[in-house]
Structure 1
Amino acid sequence: MTVDALPDIGAVSTTEIDGLVIRHARSGAANGVPILLTAPWPESIYAFRHVIPRLRQTHPLIAVDLPGFGLSQSRPDVMAPKAMGDFVIKLLSHFKVNRAHAITPDVGALAILFAAAEKGDLFESIALGSGALRAEMAAGVLYDLIHSPTGAFATVDGAEAVGDYLKHASELTPAPIIEDFRKASAGRRFEDAVQYVRNYIPDLPKLEPLLSSIDTPILIIAGKDDPIVPAANGQFLAERLPRNHYVLLDAQHRAWEEAADGYTGEIAVWMNGAYRSQSGRT
């Protein structure tokens, strides 16, 4: 990647799904179980710059900015974990995927759990983490955003609202990607995205009783020093999902970047076959 260029994460394009224009990148092998990757917030599909080159050797890949995140369109009725889970099911149908692995850090983790509870046969395995499982288990700025009043950031340029996050991220992430992240929150986009985490309050109590019914093998992978989604959230999941493997990396929230080799390596081993041996909690 040159100084001014975005990395190669595949053929980046947009498509309309359920009336929304969704940005995605496709790449990878012609055969094999496809992998769906959903971008963390407030980042974008370029957060997977380390993961995609490793996995596209063996799997077809579809990296997606979910509605309201990255550079995909938003709509109020999908900006909640349960509704986003329903959207994920529609998205896989749109791409004619009958069964997939999924990599869903951060906000996507909750959506994919709802989707797996609703339609478990869609998922061969899942890798997730860095997502709060109860509103009260979030910390720091995420806790504040969850409990912020609707419209609190409606008149704020969202690019400024994520300024501190992007400054910290720029220590590891190249400038062209940081600019893509900035655009993802610009204008009112940040307020629209915050509505998703505000809906943790009504939605997450509905998710908890569903966890024990999810039979999909799930890799829980997160940073042990995450200041906004403490490791207790991963432990919470590990104690409730029937088939899971829990890995803590030497990282904070952005494990996919701060511990890129470990994050990518764990997921590659998992999706290239380790998930098949997952018969219970470890």
Structure 2
Amino acid sequence: MQRPSEHLETSVHRIEAAGVSIFYRAAGDPRNPVILLLHGFPSSSHQFRAFMPRLADRFHVIAPDLPGFGFTEVPDDFVYSFDSLAETIGAFCDVLGLRQYALYLFDYGAPVGFRLAPQRPDAIRAIVSQNGNAYEEGMSEGWAPTRAYWADPSPANRDAMRSMFTLETTRWQYTHGAPDPARVAPEGYWLDAALLARPGQDQIQLDLIADYARNVALYPRIHTYLRERQPPLLAVWGANDPFFLPAGAKAFRRDLPEAEVHLLDAGHFALETHAGVIADHMCDFLQRHLR
């Protein structure tokens, strides 16, 4: 006999989709509404380790590692672009038989999710954006070196991006803007740094940084999707994010007047310090929209 608490434990799995061996975590009863959690750079589904159990009593929560991150394994000829990442995650949803779900978008998860949503509008029941940007005004001055790389992808500008892959930079991304950096557990940024140090990872990440320019170019299409489909949207945002400003959260209301926006005293990796608060906002929001 299955115990009621069994579904609350997070389990790990691996499944083949579109030629990619996708590692993912799952928690919650499969009969409950589904939330698809999409992580950001330079992390993986590991970033949701303390978050998924907070949702698992009411939702079926699924968190894949994107290609190029975590423990997902890809063929040698895989092309690292956000189009490819979105196609792979779409195939992943098809293999799992996910017909309807809410999206949780963080950082790189946003350009992946905001490609899926217009392609599968009937599948997306709600969107939660946690520092998952879709507006130019949400991008800080900290993007200046990256914009220089986009404008001139010279070897010198490409090499300048390598500073993004150091342990020091990864630690800073996790702790900057946190009300108390001592509350940020070190295993997250140490694991990310170790995985970034694998052979070939630098080229993968440099290709994705270059391709990110196409995400900004897609913003008008995302806005059209939001205006036309009016998906329920919750923006719960670390207000001290050095990359994506609170203006990016507030901008959702321009296309979605009913969007709910909460700004937290947190940094980019807001889940590291505010998992409980974010889970509470999500549960309140999703229980109203995923009936």
TM-score, normalization: structure 1?
0.81
What secondary structure does 1:226 align onto? coil
CA distance in 1 between partners of 2:132 and 2:40 (Å): 9
Contact 1:100–1:122 (Cα < 8 Å) also in 2: yes
Deviations 1:60-89 (A, max 9, x none): 221111112233245653522x44333332
Deviations 1:183-232 (A, max 9, x none): 33123324413432432323332332342233321111111221111112
2:61 maps to amino acid: L
Give the aligned partner of residue 53 of structure 1: 53
Give the aligned partner of residue 189 of structure 2: 178
CA distance in 2 between partners of 1:26 and 1:260 (Å): 17
Give the aligned partner of residue 70 of structure 1: 70
CA distance in 1 between partners of 2:41 and 2:68 (Å): 10
Deviation, 1:137, is 4.7
More helix by share: 2
With over 3 angstroms needed to count, the CA separation of the structure-2 counterparts of 1:213 and 1:198, relative to structure 1, is: farther
Deviation, 1:116, is 1.0
Give the aligned partner of residue 103 of structure 1: 104
Give the aligned partner of residue 5 of structure 2: none
Deviations 1:136-157 (A, max 9, x none): 7523554423543376259969
Query: Aligned pair 1:122/2:104, yes or no?
Result: no
Query: Aligned pair 1:207/2:219, yes or no?
Result: yes
With over 3 angstroms needed to count, the CA separation of the structure-2 counterparts of 1:266 and 1:140, relative to structure 1, is: same
Give the aligned partner of residue 140 of structure 2: 139
Deviation, 1:128, is 1.3
Q: Which runs of 5+ in 2 are unaligned?
A: 1-7, 176-181
Contact 1:9–1:49 (Cα < 8 Å) also in 2: no
Larger of the two Rg values belongs to structure: 2
Contact 1:28–1:60 (Cα < 8 Å) also in 2: yes
2:16 maps to amino acid: E
What secondary structure does 1:259 align onto? helix
Deviations 1:168-191 (A, max 9, x none): 637434344333222331233244
Q: Which runs of 5+ in 1 are unaligned?
A: 1-7, 278-282
What secondary structure does 1:31 align onto? coil
**Identity across matched positions, percent:** 19
RMSD: 3.0
Partner residue of 1:193 out of 175, 187, 205: 205
1:64 maps to amino acid: P
With over 3 angstroms needed to count, the CA separation of the structure-2 counterparts of 1:77 and 1:32, relative to structure 1, is: same
CA distance in 1 between partners of 2:190 and 2:9 (Å): 16
